[in-house]
A = this chain, B = another copy of it.
């Protein structure tokens, strides 16, 4: 789950990190009032879950309240990477001396948090890593010890020479690690971390992604979710415990298991069709999940056929069959279903489906070809 910049900054503040001031506004008048309050030059920044806000015109400097309001007028409602800007963060402009990058995420290979820091901040860090890898310093954190003081200090000395800045930066890095672990983040970064002309190190941007698996035990973080900015079907899928990603094709897919779901999409494409979605009804399923899956898929007007591909393991085929039958009774499924069920309790499932007038095939190639035919 991605957080907005202003939310991420608040988590950073709670972890004791120095963050530039700022408040959120959702109208030009509010932006004007904030610019008046701060005085001088202010920065107006679109709050959307997307990189490249600057390039897209979503970040503007304003020399006073009028200009700030004008910018707000332009940016509010703008679309950035398909997301509509509904909130702006207004901050006083800082006198920047240097810009650095600091970030922490989970390293698959090391199976631990890994910091990436670079004295070259304010730019795309992936690009820095690609063009000038020596400028990016990596440090793995042993999860048994957490970030040790000497590690934070070592990283800080990669970014600054001046001892006072090094000390401040080491604190920032410890704070960042705290914010990362205390909130169950999968990624937390500051880009840029600035030093000001008067020798202060502070974060003027913030990006945090939360590990979805942490949210059940972090209600205050879960409360930061901006459901308005989610894609169609995502909220409903989440509530029902389904994994769902909307795509542009016409073959709705309902599969158990992420790997099989991807392979099913791939096979739809292989046979000349276009998948309408990724949808994994998950491991230990119950009929309600199937109902929810059908509701989500049928809400997409592009869908011309719904393909079930179920291989029973921990999921029992009879549960899925019951779900299909129940859903067919509860909601209006206006497109054909093509069903493949095999594995645990397969026979029972076929009986349930047959009793309700559905037929199921046993082969994946067969069912995908059938679906593509129907959608064509």
**In the complex, A216 has a CB within 8 A of chain B:** no
A residues contacting the other copy or chain, number (CB 8 A): 2
Which residues of chain B are near A145, meaning CB under 8 Å?
Answer: 144
Inter-chain CA distance A145–B144, complex, in Å, is 6
Which residues of chain B are near A144, meaning CB under 8 Å?
Answer: 144-145
Count of this chain's copies in the oligomeric assembly:
2
Contact with B along A45-85 (1 / 0, CB 8 A): 00000000000000000000000000000000000000000
Cβ distance A361 to chain B, nearest Cβ, rounded Å: 46
Cβ distance A41 to chain B, nearest Cβ, rounded Å: 42
Inter-chain CA distance A145–B143, complex, in Å, is 9
Inter-chain CA distance A144–B145, complex, in Å, is 6
Contact with B along A128-168 (1 / 0, CB 8 A): 00000000000000001100000000000000000000000
Inter-chain CA distance A144–B148, complex, in Å, is 12
Q: Closest residue of chain B to A145, judged by CB?
A: B144
Inter-chain CA distance A145–B142, complex, in Å, is 11
Cβ distance A182 to chain B, nearest Cβ, rounded Å: 15
Q: Closest residue of chain B to A146, judged by CB?
A: B144
Query: Of residues 104 to 145 in A, which have CB atoms within 8 Å of B's CB atoms?
Result: 144-145
Inter-chain CA distance A145–B145, complex, in Å, is 8
Q: Closest residue of chain B to A142, judged by CB?
A: B144
Cβ distance A142 to chain B, nearest Cβ, rounded Å: 8
Cβ distance A140 to chain B, nearest Cβ, rounded Å: 15
Cβ distance A2 to chain B, nearest Cβ, rounded Å: 30
Cβ distance A82 to chain B, nearest Cβ, rounded Å: 43
Cβ distance A181 to chain B, nearest Cβ, rounded Å: 13
Cβ distance A137 to chain B, nearest Cβ, rounded Å: 25
Inter-chain CA distance A144–B144, complex, in Å, is 5
Q: List 2 A-B contacts (CB under 8 A).
A: A144-B144, A144-B145
